[in-house]
Amino acid sequence: MIIFKKLQAYDVRIRAACIFGDHNGKVVDFLRLTLKGLLNHFLSLEDNLFDKLEELLADERVKAGRAAVLELARYKPIIVAVDTLENYNINDDVMMRATAALIQHGSEFNRDYARKGIHLKIFTMAEVFPYIKEEVILNTLKFIRNEIYLNWRPKDLMRLISWRLYHYLQATRQLAPESYQIDWDDYNDVREKMWTPYFGNSLRNNGGTPELSFPYVLRHTQMRPRQLIVLCNAIAHRAQQQRTFPFFRPEDIVKAVLHGQKALAEEVFNSYSSVYPKVGRIVEALSGLPMIFKGNELDKRAPLTASEWPAGEYSPHAFRQLVAELGLVGRIRSCNEKAGIVEATFEYSSESRLPLLVTDYCAIHPMFYQKLNINDQRNFRVYPFPDHEDFQELEY
């Protein structure tokens, strides 16, 4: 019915198949009838509702509408996207099974209709997908195929921020002349004409070490657009307070990022609160740690959290898994002590779990320094970016 409603302008047969009318409430009525029919059928309450539903789907107008949609999809592919919920509870068996059933149905639907031009895309939160894949869906090879992880590249994030700033400055007539003509597909052009004129090319971080401005801001996020937007909004707000907007002084960027870290850290904790009910208290065990440390330190801190876990769920392994899942602790790939640069891999940029072993050298993500009072006296610059060619252009 949703496809019919969206495509009714293309074919009279599709329009005729919209037998519930045009206003939004009618689609809701159809979905309500569908759910009631299924409940009545499986609970043996009133078979007549399910019969009515079958009669509706067998209507000749609906059949003709389906045929018209398939004809249209041959040259105009159709994508139906099911958005993720705002919050999941992995301990809610009904919710997890329903989500798994949705994924399984999407797989079966695509098997039958993708080659005909109709695609069903199911979105789910990265926080819960490992649980669904490992513990709920029984046949992952059959039902989870060609999954796509939506990881943002640096140039995508710079273009996003620059695009938003460009249109705001254009609307308020504050756009600098060098920003008039921009090739938005060219990372270097966007950086030189939109980022550098306003954010500057470099700054001195909180420890007084010189650093390029974009990698500095970006490393205080988990590569999520909303996190970068929050930090850049904080930078803009501070510039307005200092009456320098739309130009951002290095010291204002550093102070705004330090101030914005706590809100971002709390947002991550909140997003995992249904997975780990007392996650905020559990991660307090890391308070005061140095920015880099050996993995066995996690096992020393883990027992401090035992009372905050649901009965029977605490273990040192569970604690290590939690801090990895949150993107709070990563595994160090390289450490250049002379340059003061540490490169670390974090689970949120991986397509699988990141086991943290007692022999690993680990790093705290910079986004959590303020929230957890991390000891940063060694003044390393931790870059939490994956070992991927897309990140080479940062040149930090």
Where a domain ends, among 122, 148, 174?
Answer: 148
Where a domain ends, among 244, 267, 290?
Answer: 267
Query: Quick one: pLDDT at residue 86?
Result: 72
Number of helices (H), then strands (E), in the chain? 18, 9
Query: Quick one: pLDDT at residue 291?
Result: 94
Check whether residue 314 and residue 258 sit in a common domain: no
pLDDT over 50 at 22, yes or no: no
Q: Rounded to whole angstroms, how far apart are CA atoms 128 and 274?
A: 10
Tens of pLDDT, residue by residue over 363-372, are 999 999 999 9
Query: Quick one: pLDDT at residue 334?
Result: 94
Tens of pLDDT, residue by residue over 258-316, are 999 999 999 999 888 878 889 999 999 999 999 999 999 999 999 999 999 998 889 99
pLDDT over 60 at 47, yes or no: no
Nearest CA to 329 out of 296, 371, 298, 307 is that of 298
Tens of pLDDT, residue by residue over 314-364, are 999 999 999 999 999 999 999 998 889 999 999 998 888 899 999 999 999
Query: Quick one: pLDDT at residue 79?
Result: 93
pLDDT over 80 at 56, yes or no: no
Tens of pLDDT, residue by residue over 67-123, are 999 999 999 999 999 988 777 777 778 888 888 888 999 999 999 999 999 999 999
Check whether residue 94 and residue 176 sit in a common domain: no
Check whether residue 258 and residue 285 sit in a common domain: no
Q: Rounded to whole angstroms, how far apart are CA atoms 37 and 34?
A: 5
Q: Rounded to whole angstroms, how far apart are CA atoms 182 and 343?
A: 32
Q: Rounded to whole angstroms, how far apart are CA atoms 136 and 129?
A: 10
Comparison of pLDDT for 111 and 145, the residue scoring more: 111
Residue 169 lies in a domain: yes
Q: Rounded to whole angstroms, how far apart are CA atoms 187 and 62?
A: 48
Check whether residue 366 and residue 352 sit in a common domain: yes
pLDDT over 50 at 25, yes or no: no
Distances in Å between the alpha carbon of 335 and those of 39, 217, 341, 383?
59, 20, 6, 10
**CB 396 within 8 Å of CB 310:** no
**CB 276 within 8 Å of CB 282:** yes
Highest mean pLDDT pick, 119-128, 152-161, 377-386: 152-161
**CB 348 within 8 Å of CB 327:** yes
Confidence band for 23, pLDDT divided at 50, 70 and 90: very low
Q: What is the mean pLDDT of residues 15-28?
A: 63
Check whether residue 210 and residue 288 sit in a common domain: no
Residue 106 lies in a domain: yes
Distances in Å between the alpha carbon of 83 and those of 53, 78, 158, 271, 325?
25, 16, 25, 16, 22
Q: What is the mean pLDDT of residues 180-207?
A: 94
Tens of pLDDT, residue by residue over 227-255, are 999 999 999 999 999 999 999 999 999 99
**CB 338 within 8 Å of CB 252:** no
Number of domains in the chain: 3
Query: Quick one: pLDDT at residue 45?
Result: 58
User: Which structural domain, as residue segments, surrounds residue 103?
Assistant: 78-148
Check whether residue 260 and residue 158 sit in a common domain: yes
Q: Rounded to whole angstroms, how far apart are CA atoms 263 and 227?
A: 9
Where a domain ends, among 236, 251, 267?
Answer: 267
Query: Quick one: pLDDT at residue 213?
Result: 96
Query: Quick one: pLDDT at residue 138?
Result: 78
Q: Rounded to whole angstroms, how far apart are CA atoms 323 and 283?
A: 7
Sign of the CA dihedral running 101, 226, 298, 279: negative
